[in-house]
Structure 1
Amino acid sequence: MTDLDPFTDLLDYPMYVVTAEADGERAGCLVGFASQCSIRPARFMVWLSKANRTYQVAERAERLEVHLLRRDQNRLARLFGGETGDRTDKFTDVPWHPGPGGTPILDEAPAWLVGRVENQIDGGDHVGFLLAPEAADNPTGNRTPLLTLNDTHDITPGHPAD
């Protein structure tokens, strides 16, 4: 098997917080594998680790919420990336409100989208969730430096990354 590190070590892509709600249970995690994957129809794909509690909630959810973070939102990145929902209610000290279908929207996120789950694709240790956008917002209305992979290298994952 070919090692991807020589290629992926050069990448510095945005990081996202993905939240889910199913059967009254909320979860959320920091995600690096996500991208728009179609223009017409508009579609967005987000990949969740099978080891993550958020995956367990997301596989039962009708919708997922994808949040962008600003570069200075290290506290949120550490909470959703360095803590596990198995031990911590990540929503206790974070302002949020229910979005479409009850999916948690983080009030501090500079931009977010809610997508209806159209399909799940097994990709190995991660599962891809194909989202059909239902709502999106950029409350500040401007562009801001976003949190990227390089900004999160010092966060120890709440669950093993692989």
Structure 2
Amino acid sequence: MSEQESAKSAFDQLVGQLDYPMFVVTTRGADRLSGCLVGFASQAGINPSRFFVGLSRRNHTFGVAQDAEYLAVHVLAREHVGLARLFGSETGDEVDKFERCRWHEGPHRLPIVDEAAAWFVGRIIRRIDAGDHLGILLEPFDGEMTSAATGELVSFSDVKDLDPGHDA
């Protein structure tokens, strides 16, 4: 095994053990709504506040986000893992996910999932090529947190068995 293959194997083993939080990201572009389950996301700055989202280039939401100025990022309480499964295993190319869940219009008419334990809206300030994903850097500016956000949240271990709507 080459040194590069060995390093990739070690990396794959390490990240395979991590139990990342999962996020539902929604957006609106050109009068189309879209949303997907995202595992590549993280706070990326404190002052100023920044959040990084990685969207698969094969995902329906990727196409809609190309025209968008804002994204909404949601976390779900474990009791709502079914919503994570909806947004992770169905594709907006074939299914209107918003017909299958309760939501309301939030800031900038973005779809906000009603059962979310917490959510925030961020303005897209940069798009970054990240290979098979597009990195989107957000400047958060509005949001809401419920008491459910202090409990167990949906993480990778809750959805690792999903068949994604699109391959990554």
* TM-score bracket, shorter-length normalisation: over 0.9
Unaligned 5+ segments in structure 2 are none
Higher helix share: 2
Report deviation, 1:134.
1.2
Greater mean deviation of Cα atoms: 40-49 or 92-101: 92-101
The one of 71, 81, 95 equivalent to 2:102 is 95
Aligned to 2:162: 155
Instruction: State whether residues 77 and 149 of structure 2, in contact with CA within 8 Å, keep that contact through their aligned partners in structure 1.
Output: no
* Alpha-carbon shift at residue 77 of structure 1 (Å): 1.1
The equivalent residue for 1:8 is 15
| Partner residue of 1:42 out of 40, 49, 67 | 49
* 2: CA distance, partners of 1:134 / 1:42: 9
Where has structure 1 moved over 6 Å in runs of 4 or more? none
Partners of 2:109 and 2:22 lie apart in 1 by 23
Matches within 5 A, 1:1-162: 1=4, 2-3=8-9, 4-140=11-147, 143-161=150-168
Distance 1:123 1:98 in 2: 30
Following superposition, the deviation at residue 139 of structure 1 comes to: 2.7
Structure 1 unpaired stretches of 5+: none
TM-score, length-scaled by structure 1: 0.95
Deviations 1:59-90 (A, max 9, x none): 21010000001112121011100000000000
Distance across 2 between alignment mates of 1:142 and 1:46 = 20
The number of residues matched between the two structures is 161
Given that 2:120 and 2:144 are in contact with CA atoms closer than 8 Å, whether structure 1 keeps it comes out as: yes
Work out which of the two has the higher radius of gyration on C-alpha atoms and give 1 or 2. Answer: 2
